[in-house]
Amino acid sequence: MSTCDTLKQQITELTNEIKSLQEDLKDVAGAQKWAILRQIKGLQGKLTNVENEFNNKCKPPPEPAEPVTLHNLTLAVKSITSIDDSTEASADEPYILVVAADLTGLLPAVEVTLYGPWADVEKGETHGTLAIPIGFPESLLDLLAAFNVLRRPFWGLNNKTPAPIANVSDVAFFVCVMEHDDGSPSLLRQLVKGASTLAAINGKTAGLTKPDITKKIKEAITDVIGTPTGIPNYDDVVGVQQLILTANDLNPPPSGIRVLPALDFGGGKEGMFRILIELVFAS
């Protein structure tokens, strides 16, 4: 008889013994009752020990976890809507910087993608990004970008290739909305990229957890985003928000395309803008 069979038998015997003593309780009183109760308590202790031993030695190994299916996907800014305009006289010219960080490598990788500025955005208007036609020659992209805000993905980090996200905590995304005046959006992009890359690498080499590295990146962005990049009228910060994905976002819907919940920015004198982010599954 195997150890497990022996233990199983002991469990049955102890359980039956306890049951029959509990039956006996009905017919007795006083000291006799207390004696039986003590006996039951002792047997129950033994039963627990045997059950624990059985569970440790004899439980079948857990089923291997379902292999996680990784999907290649892109994330990009789909549109910007002016809910309320800024207090300045002329139409707004919002632009967006998206900071994307992959925290999985030995050293984290960071890219910052610039969308816009959109010229002449009035209250109530929605301006979309232009989806790059499939097979569009890469050599002509800059030409296309001269007249349109392109829907270049901010994920994968090469602004091009769909890439998987195994776990939502493996990545950190921040969306920064600016209002263009005399500043330089491309210079600000470089400043934000430098600061957030440094924060990510410092956090990683200091042994911080992914959520703590994410916090450090956010602090670095907050510190640098208001840097003047042109005079006399500095570009204005409308807002900075973390884009948080849920595990469910990573499951492809039947259409393969998911628009994430809207992100609203501002509400003060720099206006209020609503940003939509599109997640497209390539596989």
* Residues at the site binding Ca ion, with contacts judged by CB under 5 A: 88, 93, 179, 181, 233-234, 236
Minimum CB–partner distance for residue 174 and Ca ion (Å): 21
Q: Which is nearer to Ca ion, 111 or 179 (CB)?
A: 179
For residues 259 and 265, the answer to whether their CB atoms sit within 8 Å is no
**Which residue's structure tokens are 């998987």?**
164
Handedness of CA 275, 153, 129, 146 (dihedral sign): positive
Minimum CB–partner distance for residue 279 and Ca ion (Å): 30
Q: Which is nearer to Ca ion, 54 or 234 (CB)?
A: 234
C-beta atoms surrounding 4 within 10 Å = 13
Cα distances from 209 to residues 102, 103, 202, in angstroms, run: 13, 10, 12
- Six token digits for residue 266: 């501002």
Residue nearest to Ca ion (CB): 181
Rounded Cα distance, 168 and 260, in Å: 14
Q: Which is nearer to Ca ion, 108 or 116 (CB)?
A: 116
What is the DSSP annotation of 165-191? -S-GGGEEEEEEEEE-SSS-HHHHHHH
Helix (H), strand (E) at residue 197: helix 185-205
Minimum CB–partner distance for residue 233 and Ca ion (Å): 5
Minimum CB–partner distance for residue 91 and Ca ion (Å): 8
Q: How far is CA 240 from the centre of its chain?
A: 16
Minimum CB–partner distance for residue 142 and Ca ion (Å): 24
Q: Which is nearer to Ca ion, 117 or 156 (CB)?
A: 117
Q: Which is nearer to Ca ion, 102 or 236 (CB)?
A: 236
